[in-house]
């Protein structure tokens, strides 16, 4: 339960971070709040040769609300976003889901972008980013690009981030105050979700995102559904997620939760 040896780089500028990433590639790993990465280091599931600490970069500790989206920098801790006064008005879904991310004691250190970089299949922030159709801002020493959440997450703890890219920020669109809802079932509040669901009303109908079941959070867009049409859609979705049994819950229980929570949330946002 001790990390394997690594060099520790305390970066002072983004350019330094990008230069080390360009040089070391996949041997380097960025550490922000460390609430996901440190357990991986301690258990040696991750063994980077170089750890780049970005938490002394003040320019990454920014929340910007411009052009219809809230952009959260890589240095913004979960606690900071949760305490950001306009959060409930501008990003209601994030305001609902973020209290479920870890505990007071981990949110004080963990970052929003770190949680998205880690891409745990039961994590709330990747789920919220997918449900809202947000973007991940990636940057190398030479170029910048933005990836839609749907293209960024590629599987269980894996993403489309290149080895030389850092996540500079993520942005969550406002969606003009669209109704949204979130619910999660976990053994203990703050533990990994057995099932987490987010629903967002859209022009066409409703979007439902489900985490904790498949290798990554999954999204479905439906027209306004109710009654047996909604039940059928939820049942198909629950089966398409290919839930597996594990120590926390059976596949069948997970499918039940997707159907039950999904129906409640879809009804809530389509009211």
Partner 1 sequence: MTRLQSGERHRIRFKLNGAATHGEAEPRMLLTDFLRQQIGATGTHVGCEHGVCGACTVTVDGMIARACLTLAVQVDGSDVRTVEGLAPAPDRLGILQEAFKRHHALQCGFCTAGILMSLDHYLRERPDPTEAEIRDLLSGHLCRCTGYTPIIHAALDAAGRLADHHRAEKTDV
Binding of residue 114 to partner 1 (CB under 8 A): no
Of residues 229, 234, 242, 224, the one with CA closest to residue 262: 234
Of residues 17, 141, 150, the one with CA closest to residue 74: 17
From the list 34-42, 128-136, 174-182, 237-245, the region that binds partner 1 by CB under 8 A is: 34-42
Binding of residue 173 to partner 1 (CB under 8 A): no
CA 30 to chain centre: 17
Binding of residue 179 to partner 1 (CB under 8 A): no
Q: How far is the CB of 31 from partner 1 (least distance, A)?
A: 8
Name the strand (E) or helix (H) holding 261. Answer: helix 251-270
From the list 12-20, 135-143, 159-167, 242-250, the region that binds partner 1 by CB under 8 A is: 12-20
From the list 113-121, 138-146, 184-192, 260-268, the region that binds partner 1 by CB under 8 A is: 184-192
Going by DSSP bridges, is the β-strand pair 50-53/7-10 parallel, antiparallel, or unpaired? parallel
From the list 4-12, 85-93, 144-152, 198-206, the region that binds partner 1 by CB under 8 A is: 4-12
Q: How far is the CB of 118 from partner 1 (least distance, A)?
A: 13
Contacts of 14 (CB under 8 A, 6+ apart): 57, 59, 60, 139, 166, 168
Render 29-57 in DSSP notation, one character per residue: EEESS-TTHHHHHHTTS---SEEEE-TT-
Binding of residue 64 to partner 1 (CB under 8 A): no
From the list 8-16, 136-144, 222-230, 254-262, the region that binds partner 1 by CB under 8 A is: 8-16
Going by DSSP bridges, is the β-strand pair 63-66/135-139 parallel, antiparallel, or unpaired? unpaired
Binding of residue 142 to partner 1 (CB under 8 A): no
Q: Residue 179 in contact with residue 203, Cβ under 8 Å?
A: no
Q: How far apart are CA 222 and CA 16, in angstroms?
A: 45
Residues 205-264 that bind partner 1 (CB under 8 A): none
Between 46 and 266, name the residue whose CB sits nearer to partner 1.
Answer: 46
Q: How far is the CB of 12 from partner 1 (least distance, A)?
A: 6
Q: How far apart are CA 96 and CA 235, in angstroms?
A: 25
Q: How far is the CB of 249 from partner 1 (least distance, A)?
A: 18
Which residues are near partner 1 by CB under 8 A?
1-13, 16, 20, 34-35, 38-39, 41-43, 49, 51, 53, 55, 77, 79, 102-106, 108-109, 188-190
């Amino acid at each position: 339960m001790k990390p394997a040896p690594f060099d520790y780089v305390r970066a002072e500028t983004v350019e330094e971070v990008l230069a080390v990433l360009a040089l070391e590639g996949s041997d380097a790993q960025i550490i922000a709040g460390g609430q996901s990465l440190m357990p991986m280091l301690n258990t040696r599931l991750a063994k980077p040769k170089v750890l780049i600490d970005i938490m002394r970069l003040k320019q990454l500790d920014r929340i910007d609300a411009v052009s219809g989206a809230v952009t959260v920098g890589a240095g913004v801790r979960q606690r900071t976003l949760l305490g950001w006064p306009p959060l409930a008005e501008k990003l209601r879904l994030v305001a609902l889901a973020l209290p479920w991310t870890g505990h007071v004691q981990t949110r004080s250190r963990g970052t929003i972008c770190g949680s998205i970089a880690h891409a745990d299949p039961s994590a709330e922030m990747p789920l919220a980013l997918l449900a809202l159709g947000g973007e991940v801002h990636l940057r190398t020493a030479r170029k910048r690009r933005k990836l839609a959440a749907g293209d960024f997450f590629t599987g269980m703890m894996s993403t489309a981030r290149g080895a030389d890219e850092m996540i500079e920020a993520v942005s969550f669109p406002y969606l003009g105050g669209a109704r949204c809802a979130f619910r999660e079932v976990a053994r203990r509040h703050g533990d990994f979700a057995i099932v987490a669901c987010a629903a967002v009303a859209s022009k066409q109908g409703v979007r439902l995102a489900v985490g904790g079941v498949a290798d990554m959070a999954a999204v479905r867009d439906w027209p306004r559904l109710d009654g047996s049409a909604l039940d059928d859609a939820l049942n198909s979705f629950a089966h398409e997620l290919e839930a597996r049994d594990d120590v926390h819950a059976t596949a069948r229980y997970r499918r039940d939760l997707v159907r039950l929570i999904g129906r409640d949330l879809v009804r809530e946002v389509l009211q």
